[in-house]
Amino acid sequence: MEQLIRRRNTPQSLAKRARLVLESDKGVNNTAISQLLPLDRPQVVLWRSRWIEHDPEFCRIEQEHPEELEAAIVQTLRDQPRPGTPATFTEQQVLQIVAIACEDPTLSGRPISHWTPREVRDEAIKRGIVSSISITQVGRFLK
């Protein structure tokens, strides 16, 4: 844990949670930890309980596969995927849209020398890659 905290490339959120676990191990209560690490008390309770829940698994991994222990700890201290709106466009669609922008516009019968997001959008719809897409979204893909 100490090495994880000291490492330069450890994300701050992960380091903060590792500090929380170390403070817990010292017997520091949730309120004191929330003041020490600038976290809300419910966050401290959440991460502390998550750690306690996985502790038996860590003990087993430490006994059987010690080389996998750090990866298991990092996985536990990471954020869980959050629900949200699914992506509107597939990776394949995005790649095809970007590929259009890499082509010579004259090969698509366009009387332009350079693609604009509007032209790329129109070509993607014409080719049936997407049924509709905003010019702004095309611009984001090309960024």
Instruction: Check whether 83 has a pLDDT greater than 90.
Output: no
> 10 Å Cβ neighbour count for 101?
18
Considering only CA atoms, give the Rg of the chain: 25
Angle between helices 12-25 and 41-64 (to 10 degrees): 80
User: Percentage of residues in the chain with pLDDT exceeding 90?
Assistant: 83
pLDDT at 90: 95
pLDDT at 95: 97
End-to-end CA distance of the chain: 38
22-67 residue pLDDT tens: 999 999 999 999 999 988 999 999 999 999 999 999 999 999 999 9
| Annotated domain spans of the chain | 2-77, 91-142
Strand ranges for 36-82 from DSSP E? none
> 10 Å Cβ neighbour count for 44?
24
